[in-house]
């Protein structure tokens, strides 16, 4: 698949946020006030996190296409992307505040996140952006930017180049976006939302130990959800937190049933799950851009996710490629 040597070219189209993070003893209920720890301010946003992961943890030649404001939040984000080796020449500066995420993290590492989109709502793809997408070996998007952007990116890719959609945060997808997706990455909640079934009772789950403890996921239910989503897309990855992830693909041939592969989790001491799913997605796309098959890329992605949950922050927690490869080789 890759036309750029060993690394592969990834274009990530999506959001960039300044994360305002507070550790809390527990997440507040409606109408409740909880005293937390000191405020931390760090680079985040699902798109920017995934771009940092594709470059730093996945080793890909990575471009991030997004929008930031003309404020110091933009400087924080561009500095983090640059430090990870992500190309930032296509990041637009717009007349809106840089996106902001308000995040609480509980002692078990679970989070709640509310996003004020700001500049992310102004992301558009111009001719230069579309040309970069057309030169990519894998394209990766999420749902914190307008759906038109996802659609335009998918249309601009070369035939055979995988369009990976991390359908987070959960929202309904129009038919033309469904039709544009090659690989859908979702947690159990997002899978249930897209399949139109009720949500499971436990944590949805970023991979590698995040989003629900080991053994807390119903693998049978996750498989049923993944297989039902194969009616809309050729391949689905359901992340299962401490239980790893599940890769489902349409069978080859008219009579072949779906192929399902379970990728076990790598053990992790969970500190903060924020952005672990993004690390997973970025490394997955990097693997696909290099020509890896989906289960192989998912295994590397699971190793990266397991390392990410052991550190605080989103982009700040993305591991180095060397550590990802070393962990993945252990099993």
Q: Which of 2, 15, 80, 228 binds ligand RIB (CB under 6 A)?
A: 15
Q: Rounded to the nearest whole angstrom, what is the least distance from the CB of residue 206 to ligand RIB in the complex?
A: 8
Q: Rounded to the nearest whole angstrom, what is the least distance from the CB of residue 198 to ligand RIB in the complex?
A: 23
Q: Which of 165, 246, 270, 314 binds ligand RIB (CB under 6 A)?
A: 314
Q: Which of 2, 10, 17, 105 binds ligand RIB (CB under 6 A)?
A: 17
Q: Which is nearer to ligand RIB, 63 or 111 (CB)?
A: 111
**Whether the bond into 169 is cis, omega within 30 of 0:** yes
The sign of the CA dihedral 149, 151, 153, 156 is negative
Marked catalytic residue, from 278, 316, 320, 323? 278
Taking CB under 6 A as the binding criterion, the range among 86-94, 170-178, 188-196, 274-282 that sits at the site for ligand RIB is 274-282
Q: Which of 182, 272, 278, 316 binds ligand RIB (CB under 6 A)?
A: 278
Q: Rounded to the nearest whole angstrom, what is the least distance from the CB of residue 118 to ligand RIB in the complex?
A: 11
DSSP secondary-structure letter at 56?
I
Task: Name residue 116's beta-bridge partners.
Answer: 100
Number of residues that bind ligand RIB (CB under 6 A): 16
Quick check: 305 binds ligand RIB (CB under 6 A)? no
Beta strands in the chain (DSSP E): 9-13, 17-23, 40-44, 61-65, 67-68, 92-93, 99-105, 111-116, 138-141, 163-166, 183-187, 235-239, 245-249, 259-263
Say how far apart CA 311 and CA 119 lie, in whole Å. Answer: 28
Taking CB under 6 A as the binding criterion, the range among 15-23, 28-36, 82-90, 131-139 that sits at the site for ligand RIB is 15-23
Q: Rounded to the nearest whole angstrom, what is the least distance from the CB of residue 4 to ligand RIB in the complex?
A: 27
Q: Which of 20, 84, 91, 113 binds ligand RIB (CB under 6 A)?
A: 113
Taking CB under 6 A as the binding criterion, the range among 1-9, 39-47, 78-86, 221-229 that sits at the site for ligand RIB is 39-47
Q: Calculate the CA dihedral of residues 259, 321, 115, 203 and round it to 10 degrees.
A: 50
Q: Rounded to the nearest whole angstrom, what is the least distance from the CB of residue 21 to ligand RIB in the complex?
A: 9
Say how far apart CA 301 and CA 297 lie, in whole Å. Answer: 6
Q: What is the DSSP string of 3-53?
A: SSTTS-EEEEE---EEEEEEE-SS---TT--------EEEEE-HHHHHHHI
Residue 278 is a catalytic residue: yes
| Token pair listed for 310 | 């052991």
Going edge to edge, which strands form the sheet with 111-116? 40-44, 17-23, 99-105, 111-116
The CA R_g of the chain, rounded to the nearest whole Å, is: 18
Ranges within 207-266 binding ligand RIB (CB under 6 A): none
Quick check: 152 binds ligand RIB (CB under 6 A)? no
Binding site for ligand RIB (CB under 6 A): 15, 17, 19, 44-46, 49, 101, 113, 115, 144, 274-275, 277-278, 314
**Catalytic positions:** 278
């Amino acid at each position: 698949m890759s036309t750029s040597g060993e690394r592969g070219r990834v274009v990530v189209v999506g959001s960039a946020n300044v994360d305002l993070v507070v550790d809390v003893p527990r997440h507040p209920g409606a109408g409740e006030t909880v005293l937390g720890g000191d405020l931390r301010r760090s680079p985040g946003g699902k798109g920017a996190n995934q771009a940092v992961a594709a470059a730093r943890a996945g080793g890909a030649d990575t471009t991030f296409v997004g929008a930031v404001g003309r404020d110091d939040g933009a400087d924080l984000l561009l500095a983090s992307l640059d430090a990870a080796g992500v190309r930032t020449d296509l990041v637009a500066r717009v007349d809106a505040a840089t996106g902001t995420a308000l995040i609480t993290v509980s002692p078990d590492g679970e989070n709640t996140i509310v996003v004020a989109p700001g500049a992310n709502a102004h992301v558009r793809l111009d001719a230069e952006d579309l040309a970069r997408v057309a030169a990519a070996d894998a394209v990766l998007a999420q749902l914190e930017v307008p759906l038109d952007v996802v659609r335009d990116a998918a249309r601009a890719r070369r035939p055979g180049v995988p369009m990976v959609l991390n359908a987070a945060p959960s929202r309904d997808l129009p038919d033309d976006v469904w039709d544009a997706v090659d690989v859908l990455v979702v947690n159990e909640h997002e899978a249930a939302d897209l399949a139109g079934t009720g949500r499971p009772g436990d944590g949805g789950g970023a991979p590698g130990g995040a989003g629900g403890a080991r053994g807390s996921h119903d693998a049978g239910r996750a498989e049923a959800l993944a297989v039902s989503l194969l009616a809309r897309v050729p391949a689905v990855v359901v992340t299962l937190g401490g239980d790893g992830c599940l890769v489902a693909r349409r069978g080859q041939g008219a009579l072949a049933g779906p192929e399902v592969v379970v990728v076990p989790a790598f053990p992790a001491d969970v500190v903060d799950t924020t952005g672990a799913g993004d690390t997973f997605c970025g490394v997955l796309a990097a693997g696909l851009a290099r020509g890896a098959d989906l289960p192989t890329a998912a295994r590397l992605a699971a190793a990266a996710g397991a390392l990410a949950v052991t550190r605080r922050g989103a982009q700040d927690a993305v591991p180095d490629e060397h550590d990802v490869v070393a962990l993945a080789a252990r099993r």
